[in-house]
Chain A
Amino acid sequence: MLAYIVKRVLYMIPTLIAISIVAFLLIQLPPGDFVTTLAAEMSQQGDTVDPTTLRMLREQYGLDEPIWTQYWLWISNIVLEGDFGRSFDWDVPVSDLIWNRLGLTLVLSLCALIFTWVISLPIGIYSAVRKYSVGDYVASFLAFVGLAVPNFLLALILMYLAYKFFGISVDGLFSAEYEDAPWSGGKVLDLAQHLIVPVIVLGTSGTAALVRIMRANLLDELYKPYVTTARAKGLSEWRLILRYPVRAALNPFVSTIGWALPELVSGATVTAIVLNLPTTGPLLLRALIAQDVFLAGAMILMLSVLTVIGTLISDLLLAWLDPRIRYK
């Protein structure tokens, strides 16, 4: 088992190197650079643009260097000194920007993930065991509605309802009085209150998909001979379903954790904008539009690391769940 983990971690290194190169190249791909974007913005606002200033800016940020040199500078700083560079756009160190938001994003993401699982697993199991029953049709219908409704729309509707019936304003993750306050019981409570709507919004679409996946997985398992064996042993129906086929049906489910982690961080951008959430999604979008190379690069790198770690976690979970994998 330990050898397996070490092996998997070693495999991660070349993967991450490849990802960092691709990420950096992709960000550089659109014509122009941060300075051209800046110049365009300035001339739009009617400012005159001084070519000397622009040249100086380019030199300062190393934008004149060949792209490989730029990549090397960037990545060696990150690896050797933990320095992600300075955001052109915000003019602060990238790490300050990211760590701030990453924590809140993770809290939100984890809540949404747990919400999704708690809701979708039982519904999926019910739906498969009582196939073609009224309950199954209702669950399937709601699941498809959940899949079809765009997140931002759901966000708007829930915001309206929350304001109308509970009188709470849910934009952002904190009320104004706690925004810059130090952490306290009140602040946590405030955060929890503000989390409800985003968690529901983010969780719903995931729930819908997972209900369908769980139903399909379980239907594949329910009619296998080992289930009949368990029944012939005299086990009660629900006990045997939870113990045998559900256990087997969880495998494909666990495989998806790998994607869930980065998706929750990056995939919620539109929702985050609508709900004015201080998460990483909107930050990444803005960095990409502004060609803020270091900020965008750092975030994409972060997402890749999360993906790779997520995959590792799901592989380890799979090995733990399924002895056939563990013993290979």
Chain B
Amino acid sequence: MTQTSENGTVLSVRDLSVDFPLQKGVLHAVRDVNLDIKRGKTLALVGESGSGKSVSARSLIQLVDSPGRIVSGKVNLFVDGTAADITAMGAKSPHIRAIRGGRIGLIFQEPMSALSPMHKIGDQIDEAIEIHLGLDKKAARKRTVELLRQVEIPNPERMADQYSFEYSGGMRQRVCIAMALACDPDILIADEPTTALDVTTQAEILDLIKRLQEQRGLAVLLITHDMGVVAEVADEVAVMQKGRIVEHGTADEIFYTPKHPYTKRLLGATLKLEHASDHKAGTYDPASEPILKIRNLSKHFGHVGGWFSRAGPSIRAVDDVSFDLHRGENLGIVGESGSGKTTLGRMIMRIIEPTSGEVIYTGSDDKDQDVLALQRKGLKKYHAAVRMIFQDPFASLNPRMTVKQIVGDPLKINNIASGRARDDRVAELLEMVGLSAEMMDRYPHAFSGGQRQRIGIARALALDPRIIIADEATSALDVSIRSQILDLLLDLQKRLDLSFIFIAHDISVVRYFCDRVLVMHKGKLVEIGEAEQVCTTPSKAYTQALISAIPNPDPRNKRMLHRTRFQSEPQAGAEA
């Protein structure tokens, strides 16, 4: 048992400021932050990207990436009856190293890249134990196996000898938690621990952290941008904006009596996505003729058997899926990672060739076309009518092209307009998505994530499409930007007679945006129906489990902890 200060505070942060010297001036990433992290309690640090929440968390154990440095403030750690000032320790000193992993454990957002792919999982955990507890190899491994069992890894003895790429995303995050807790730290800092995970996996990981916290009396600092997660697990909340903590209070206070305008805005954006949009175009008519008919579409991936390799079993990424897309309809495709939703979208575009099935597109001349039989020229025309918007607004724009070139590229490739005419069209498109035409000579790096996604939308609109396939188009965006982009798409739909296929793992976004929802699980269509009905009273067990795992942004009505669970066929050991 460690001694703590009177009110249970194990870590107190006073007036912490972190600066990043840049070529022009200084970026004050964190300014005058005050926090108290208490034993057995969860403090959530909330903010949108760039608010300085991750930098704050890392500076607590002197892990700020260069050139950032702590310029003022104190971080006091109260353990063993004494106070230790962390900011006074050198970033490479043995004192701080004893605290890292020993007193304060840290887990990160990306469980995929947070573990070395070259070393066995067990060895990576053993190492922390050997350093801090001074156990020998055998004793360390025994403890590692016990830890893996605590984080509910099946077959811990065997799994300790596996590599990280043999683990699924959720299991990797469990490993990271085991590693962070290996030496019984007093504090766990979790930096967006579930952002990269599916909702059901997220619910399990949050459960696990909660349970370990209760067993060990851990103090948890949870960094997140998701108000739903905050409502489900936080005792206290600090809201961060532009490096400052703008509001601080209990979860109940923050959600029910927010004072600062930024907190209100953040909550407003979150709650707005809890209902169907009132912006909806109302262009959907279930009785109309479909514009796109998908029949028994399947895709099997697998080895094609080379010279010396045996043909492996194929994976059914998409298995016999059929649906219609009506004119003016917004159809959502929802599923966890690996459910085949992205493969389905790409097969409709014919970026991936289907193994079997049919895609029938009804053109503007009311003639049906068999998309899978189209040759080069026909496919080019089809690609002009059906466009895509991608998930990552940073990776989907060529950094060496100006906005004018990016948006004008489809016009150039299809020889539609050149010179002045093309420039005018690009200007028109930019205005349409809410950007200024004067921005067209800039490069993508000059824009924020939301603006870049608008550029991506302008590019998709360049050829007057009739259908847009949006693959996780808003999942990389902050919540306030997310609803703006969705509203923009709805406005565009009214003006331009568009139909959307909206692929997402986030059900709130789908409910906000879509008329109908199609739920996928392991390549199969689980159910399809009106969005409101599927999202509130789903008929299938899988959908019920999926919906109940979504964090509810209401601390008085926690949904996730009372969720229903879906048992699919049991799986042995690791998922690849």
Contact = CB atoms under 8 A, between A and B. Distances in A.
A159 to B, nearest CB: 44
Contact of A229 (B94, B98, B115): B115
A234 B97 contact: yes
Given A7-B308, A225-B110, A230 B163 contact: no
B131 A324 contact: no
A321 B115 CA distance: 16
B185 to A, nearest CB: 10
Contacts of A226: 113-117
B100 A229 contact: no
Contact of A233 (B110, B119, B131, B163): B131
A233 B113 contact: no
B169 to A, nearest CB: 14
Interface stretch (B81-89, B101-109, B287-295): B101-109
A218 to B, nearest CB: 14
A297 to B, nearest CB: 29
A237 interface: yes
Given A232-B61, A235-B127, A324 B163 contact: yes
Given A226-B114, A228-B63, A235-B127, A327 B100 contact: no
A206 to B, nearest CB: 26
Interface residues of A, number: 25
Interface in B62-106: 63, 65, 92, 94, 97-102, 105-106
B179 interface: yes
Contact of A248 (B92, B101, B116): B116
B98, B114, B165 — most chain A CB neighbours (10 Å): B114
A324 B163 CA distance: 8
A128 B328 CA distance: 56
Interface in B119-162: 119, 127-128, 131-132
Contact of B117 (A7, A231, A232, A324): A324
B554 interface: no
B163 A234 contact: no
Interface string B382-409: 0000000000000000000000000000
Contacts of A324: 117, 163, 165
Contacts of B110: 225
A237 B94 CA distance: 10
A247 interface: yes
Interface in A311-328: 321-324, 327
Interface in B482-539: none
A248 B118 contact: yes
A164 interface: no
A244 B116 contact: yes
B478 interface: no
Contacts of B428: none
A232 B132 CA distance: 12
A229 B177 CA distance: 11
A229 B114 contact: yes
A231 B113 contact: no
Interface of A: 7, 10, 223-226, 228-237, 243-244, 247-248, 321-324, 327
Interface of B: 61, 63, 65, 92, 94, 97-102, 105-106, 108, 110, 113-119, 127-128, 131-132, 163, 165-166, 176, 179-180, 308
